[in-house]
Amino acid sequence: MGLKPDRWIKDMVRRHGMIDPFVDAQVRAGAISYGVSSYGYDMRVADEFKIFTNVRSAVVDPKRFDAASFVDFRGDVCIIPPNSFVLARSVEYFRIPRAVLTICLGKSTYARCGLIVNVTPFEPEWEGFVTLEISNTTPLPAKVYANEGLAQVLFFEADEVCEQSYADKKGKYQGQTGVTPPRM
Listed in sequence order, the residues at least 6 apart from 118 whose beta carbon sits closer than 8 Å to its beta carbon are 106, 132, 133, 134, 135
127 carries an active-site annotation: no
- Give residue 35's pLDDT: 96
Annotated active-site residue in 127, 133, 148, 160: 133
Q: What is 87-142 written as a DSSP string?
A: EEEEEEEEE--TTEEEEEEE-HHHHTTTEEEE-----TT-EEEEEEEEEE-SSS-E
Whether the CB-CB separation of 97 and 12 falls below 8 Å is answered with: yes
The per-type count for the chain, helices as H runs and strands as E runs, is: 2, 11
- Give residue 2's pLDDT: 62
- Give residue 55's pLDDT: 66
- Cα–Cα distance for residue pair 27/61, rounded to 1 Å: 39
User: What is the sign of the dihedral through the CA atoms of 171, 104, 8 and 25?
Assistant: positive
User: pTM, whole model, 2 decimals?
Assistant: 0.92
- Cα–Cα distance for residue pair 119/13, rounded to 1 Å: 21
- Give residue 131's pLDDT: 97
- Give residue 116's pLDDT: 97
Q: Which parts of the chain sit beneath pLDDT 50?
A: none
- Give residue 6's pLDDT: 80
User: pLDDT of 96-123, one tens digit each?
Assistant: 999 999 999 999 999 999 999 999 999 9
